[in-house]
Amino acid sequence: MGLKAVHFGGGNIGRGFVAEKLHLAGYEVVFVDVMDSIIEQLQKTKEYTVTEIGGEDEKVNKITNYRAINSKTHEADVIDEISTADLVTCAVGPNVLKFIAPVIGKAIDKRTAPKPVAVIACENAIGATDTLAGFIKDSKNTPQDRLSSINDRASFANSAIDRIVPGQDPNAGLNVKIESFYEWVVDKTPFAKEGHPEVSAIKWVDDLNPYIERKLFTVNTGHAAAAYYGHARGKRTIHDALQDSEINKIVYDCLSETSHLIVKKHGISTEEQKAYVEKIVKRISNPYLEDVVERVGRAPLRKLSRKERFVGPASQLAESGDKIDALLGAIEQAFAFLDVKDDEESAELSKILKSTEAKEVVEKVCGLEESHPLFSKIVPIVQKVQETTK
């Protein structure tokens, strides 16, 4: 019997990154989603393409050997698939993990295979697999008398993923356009006994934290800063924003501050981090990605949260008294990303700012306590945005 992976999330990252790499590694991929339209398309179509964009040249990979199940209507089938799978992955968004946990929990409990299933969440969030595992191990999803033996049936490994998926052609169907560069790093320590899954695209490491923070505080910080400043100045794409010398400098200033943290905390050399920053700015500046600023900036509530790309590094730097001026500027622009079309979080942020005192906004949105040294620096930023958007 061949290798099988069950993947939750039929979106662009799921089809264009995770499933692509699993397909190339020889896995049959079983997509799971609750979106009728995606599942129906996948069920009716025997193949789709992933076009990798690196510059003027393009590489097209044809993806086959997949099936699709709607977990909303065929939960029992999903449980059966996971109970015999080698690998379970997801790219559903951090806020959706709690909704996919029940069916995964039931499936893990049903497993009788001698080797545990590998569970790897592929989300833009720190410790996403730990979060998913926490939901799975909740008494509502796993019988408590089975918890002590759950590691015999499943191995949970955190990961860090990095690949830019630009806006897609509205008529693309299942086909995905994606940047050629990618990084998929996974903690190998949970697989010490049984060995990790064979996926050539994955870099297996003993300590994932430096990779997670370097990626989140460089790629995501730089990308979002360019988006928010670009939106404020009427730019259409990230490329357009970074062609503006002032925005370009601001992005580099943000990454200078986060680089200071990364070098100091993780022992990465200054030269290596500087080269990484240059590579990242070049990547996000790619004109062929057609990366629209509103797409990159969407979901500001999540991006302003405690462990995310701005408040995450700024809070750590503030604790040690280091410079955070550029990050504070980016935080201001993120708070001003309001009522953007098709972005529910920007509308919700607008409501919060209109109905809530500044201190409470910082507590609620940024997850900071008043005693934290960053708290007093963000309160006046919120007050300023509230004044200008009255």
Which range has the worst mean pLDDT, 4-18, 230-244, 283-297?
A: 283-297
Catalytically annotated residue among 215, 235, 303, 377: 215
Render pLDDT for 141-175 as a digit per residue (tens, 0 to 9): 999 999 999 999 999 999 999 998 887 888 999 99
Q: Which residue has the tokens 């708070």?
A: 335
Average pLDDT over residues 90-100: 95
Can you tell me the distance from the alpha carbon of 27 to that of 309, in angstroms, rounded to the nearest whole number? 33
Average pLDDT over residues 295-304: 96
* Predicted pLDDT at 1: 66
* pLDDT > 70? residue 33: yes
* pLDDT > 90? residue 55: no
CA distances in angstroms from 217 to 182, 220, 262, 280, listed in the order given = 16, 6, 8, 11
Can you tell me the distance from the alpha carbon of 166 to that of 209, in angstroms, rounded to the nearest whole number? 26
Render pLDDT for 69-80 as a digit per residue (tens, 0 to 9): 999 999 999 999
Instruction: Give the 3-state DSSP-derived string for 245-291, with helices as H, strands as E and coil as C.
Output: HHHHHHHHHHHHHHHHHHHHHHCCCHHHHHHHHHHHHHHHCCHHHCC
**Catalytic residue check, 215:** yes
* pLDDT > 80? residue 181: yes
* pLDDT > 90? residue 289: no
Can you tell me the distance from the alpha carbon of 288 to that of 308, in angstroms, rounded to the nearest whole number? 27
* pLDDT > 70? residue 266: yes
